[in-house]
Amino acid sequence: MRVADLHADYDFSGQTAVITGGGGVLGGEMAITLAWFGANVAILDRSATLTERIVAEVKGAPGRVELFQSDVLSTEMLQKSADEIRSRFGAVDILINAAGGNSPIATTTDELKFFDLSTEGLKLVVDLNLLGTILPCQVFGREMAENQKGVILNISSMNAFRPLSRIPAYSAAKAGVSNFTQWLAVHMAREYSPNIRVNAIAPGFLLGEQNRFLLLDQDTGELTPRGHSILNHTPLNRFGVPEDLLGAVLWLLSPASAFVTGIVVPLDGGFQADSGV
């Protein structure tokens, strides 16, 4: 393959990308990156406005970024957004399912034991992460099936490979995302078109607002015991940042990975490989 072909692989000009949860840190970083690589990006988020950071960082980009207010747990809202996106940008080429997260009410603590986690809390986290991945795949995957092409990228987690303490619902849901990714990859290729690919990334420990004070002491900024334990099992000896995901994301979305489907790529600083011995 000529070098020029590889350059062309990462040109997303004229393509339409949908990112659920695109107003968040990870989804927002992906939206900004794809816009600078030429894609028109439709962010689906419950928020009514784009964050100032996203607006500022896509200024001058060759691609556009627009917000479509929606809810990944509502097929009706997702279908309405799909119709609006099609009329604004054209057919959807890329779907990234970045909506997800954990909740304190589904997290065990010294005071809140596993046996006392509420059905409401468990359902909230499982639905957001697992059903919130499946439903957008139904809505936008149908369009890809009709057009016989497309790329879907799901967001799993290192918790899917190695369940962590305290977060049973989140770990189980992300394991479901990994399994569903493999199932959907086979289903779309066999039933509709081998030009539809489905993969996932499994980020390791990224330092964000949700987990900052589980990993760092709020007063001193020093590592907590949990933070120490994670870094002791991370050969690259640091927490990840959203930018660490972008190379793999672009590769999995591009024709450079045209022979890749049904995989879950760990982006974890070596955490999965480290036995601790």
- Look up 170 and say whether it is catalytic: yes
Report the distance separating Cα 129 and Cα 173, nearest Å: 6
Helices of type H across the chain: 3-9, 25-36, 52-57, 75-89, 119-126, 132-147, 168-191, 212-215, 225-232, 246-253
**Residue 159, CA distances (Å) to 86, 171, 204, 271 in order:** 35, 5, 8, 11
* 3-class state of residue 276 by DSSP: coil
At which residue do the structure tokens 């489907």 appear? 261
**Per the residue annotation, which of 170, 192, 239, 271 is the catalytic one?**
170
User: Which run of H or of E encompasses 201?
Assistant: strand 196-203
Residues 6+ apart with CB under 8 A from 7: none
* Residues with active-site annotation: 170
